[in-house]
Amino acid sequence: MMMRADAARNRELILDAACHAFADRGPDVPLEEIAAVAGVGVATLYRRFPTREDLLEAVASRHIELYEKALRKGLADPDPWRGFSGFVRAATEIQARQPGLAEVLMVPCHGPDEARSAAVFEGYLELVHRAKLDGSLREDYVPEDLPMLLMANAGVLRGTSATAPRAFKRLVEYLLQAFSCPSRRPLPAPPTPAQMHRAMNNPAD
Amino acid sequence: MMMRADAARNRELILDAACHAFADRGPDVPLEEIAAVAGVGVATLYRRFPTREDLLEAVASRHIELYEKALRKGLADPDPWRGFSGFVRAATEIQARQPGLAEVLMVPCHGPDEARSAAVFEGYLELVHRAKLDGSLREDYVPEDLPMLLMANAGVLRGTSATAPRAFKRLVEYLLQAFSCPSRRPLPAPPTPAQMHRAMNNPAD
DNA sequence: CACTAAGCGGAGGTTGCCGTCCACTTCTGC
DNA sequence: GCAGAAGTGGACGGCAACCTCCGCTTAGTG
């Protein structure tokens, strides 16, 4: 069953509005405000997105394309380290472009569109694999270090995006240098994949 | 003019309750809940702490002692790197112990008790200085990298404290390894001290 | 012990957001 | 172009937290 044309248009208007609103007022903006900006009634918004979660997910979904593009670029790079580090930089840039949403923009690890984000994660694992074989990524790096980095980045963005919007880049470069060989002292054990997965599913408050 | 004894007692009860409440329910807990746990009426709470900010600050103030202790330990260490890194580890541990408050527990950089937190920051600068002279801390480290780290840590704690409460340690070790000599590739420019200071004064959201 | 000012609690008005309901409008297939 | 299904908007009741007001209680003093 096809959606009516005007309904589809409104859906897009809402998503546009939500995108801006979330980005610069955080994930708690009143839905009524989003509806107002979109130029529709609240009821319309609620019909299309019964819960705030649904709306957040839909907005996040729009970003997955950006991650896919970054991933393709990384995989295409003949230099494994450039591929890996480029992807990490791109992912954090994507977060930075929507600072209010940074916490939910961890699409490469766990996104709303299960299939596609799983695919991105697969590709990312391949980047990791190559960079390790190549010797440029330290042996004890684990895939869960990316969500960790993205969470850390979200924290920095939260604190600085208003006053020092490039500060996050410094964090990212520090971490990339730490990720690159040679590994130095041993690291504390990483969380298990299961723990990390749960962490991404129980959004903090 | 001295505060009446019962008033002082209630003040402490409120702070105790607030401490727990903030730690495990985040900085947005209803003040009424804190009052209830403390066993006092809301009015009492509002009289002592007119705004939520005041209460958060008072709670944060209690922690400054922990930072002072960590700092003393760091300064007493004959090995400059152990002193510096030990302090960083301790500071992040303090944040981790109150995950809901991590965002406001950046006392070494900017705390509610101006004089004391300035003193802690001074001491921290000394740690930085020594470790750089010693050659164990990279030359291009800047003092603002600590608030950056603390914000990053807050982000990781936010995401993982419920499911993987030790995950933050891995971030910290990665960063400490990045901070330690030899420095590798150059880093992006850090935010200016003024920017960072503003960032810590405009609490996100 | 008695007086008083400091302190107390909780009732209740206020606000802001949620999410639903329903009378009205607009698409779309025939 | 018409029928009716699909879609719409905004009014509305509910709720949760805020914060103030005021009559009562109690610590501290002489």
Same domain, A23 and A99: no
Residue B10, pLDDT above cutoff 90: yes
3-state secondary structure of B55: helix
Q: Cβ A148–B163 below 8 Å, yes or no?
A: no
Q: What is the dihedral of CA B172, B159, A180, A170, to 10 degrees?
A: -80
Q: Does the N-terminal peptide bond of residue A182 adopt cis geometry, omega within 30 degrees of 0?
A: yes
Q: What is the DSSP letter of A102?
A: G
Mean pLDDT to the nearest integer, A164-179: 95
Mean pLDDT to the nearest integer, A141-149: 95
Same domain, B184 and B114: yes
Same domain, B138 and B41: no
User: What share of chain A has pLDDT > 90, as a percent?
Assistant: 79
Residue B90, pLDDT above cutoff 90: yes
Q: Cβ A154–B153 below 8 Å, yes or no?
A: no
pLDDT digits (tens, 9 = 90+) for B145-170: 999 999 999 999 999 999 999 999 99
Tell me the backbone φ, ψ of residue A180, rounded to 5 degrees.
-80, 155
Residue B110, pLDDT above cutoff 90: no
Cβ count near A179 (within 10 Å): 25
Q: What CATH number is associated with residue B35?
A: 1.10.10.60
Tell me the backbone φ, ψ of residue A7, rounded to 5 degrees.
-65, -45
Examine residue A16 and state whether it is found in any structural domain, yes or no: yes
Q: Which residue has the tokens 């608030």?
A: B147
Distance CA A200, CA A110 (A): 7
pLDDT digits (tens, 9 = 90+) for A41-57: 999 999 999 999 999 99
**Bases along strand C below 7 A from a protein CB:** 6-12, 16-22, 26-29
Examine residue B55 and state whether it is found in any structural domain, yes or no: no
Comparing alpha-carbon positions, the chain B residue that sits nearest to A176 is B178
Q: What is the DSSP letter of A205?
A: -
Q: What is the dihedral of CA A23, A26, A31, A33, to 10 degrees?
A: -70
Same domain, A161 and A77: yes
Mean pLDDT to the nearest integer, B44-55: 97
**Structural Rg of chain B based on CA atoms:** 18
3-state secondary structure of A137: strand
Examine residue A56 and state whether it is found in any structural domain, yes or no: no
Q: Which nucleotide is nearest to A44 (CA to C1')?
A: D8
pLDDT digits (tens, 9 = 90+) for A72-102: 999 999 999 999 999 999 999 999 999 999 9
Examine residue A57 and state whether it is found in any structural domain, yes or no: no
Check if residue B1 sits with its Cβ under 7 angstroms from strand D.
Answer: no
Total structural domains in chain A?
2
- What is the model's pLDDT at position B106? 82
Same domain, A104 and A17: no
A92: chain B residues, CB-CB within 8 Å: none
Q: What CATH number is associated with residue B98?
A: 1.10.357
Mean pLDDT to the nearest integer, B172-199: 82
Residue B181, pLDDT above cutoff 50: yes
Closest CA to B148 of A160, A148, A96, A88: A160
pLDDT band at A15; cut points 50, 70, 90: very high
Examine residue B92 and state whether it is found in any structural domain, yes or no: yes
Same domain, A92 and A130: yes
User: A200 — contact with chain B (CB < 8 Å)?
Assistant: yes
Mean pLDDT to the nearest integer, B23-42: 96
Closest CA to A141 of A186, A107, A173, A108: A186
Examine residue A55 and state whether it is found in any structural domain, yes or no: no
Cβ count near A128 (within 10 Å): 20
Mean pLDDT to the nearest integer, A193-204: 71
Q: Cβ A155–B160 below 8 Å, yes or no?
A: no
User: B195 — contact with chain A (CB < 8 Å)?
Assistant: yes
Same domain, B30 and B84: no
The two tokens of residue B193 are 């001290």
The two tokens of residue B12 are 């402490």
Contact, A91 vs A78, CB < 8 A? no
The domain of A12 spans 1-50
Same domain, B35 and B104: no
Q: Which residue has the tokens 């990279």?
A: B138
B89 CB-near residues (< 8 Å, 6+ apart): B172, B176
Same domain, B9 and B80: no
User: What share of chain A has pLDDT > 70, as a percent?
Assistant: 96
Average of per-residue pLDDT values in chain A: 92
Examine residue B67 and state whether it is found in any structural domain, yes or no: yes
- What is the model's pLDDT at position A109? 81
Examine residue A130 and state whether it is found in any structural domain, yes or no: yes
pLDDT band at A205; cut points 50, 70, 90: very low
User: B42 — contact with chain A (CB < 8 Å)?
Assistant: no
- What is the model's pLDDT at position A203? 53
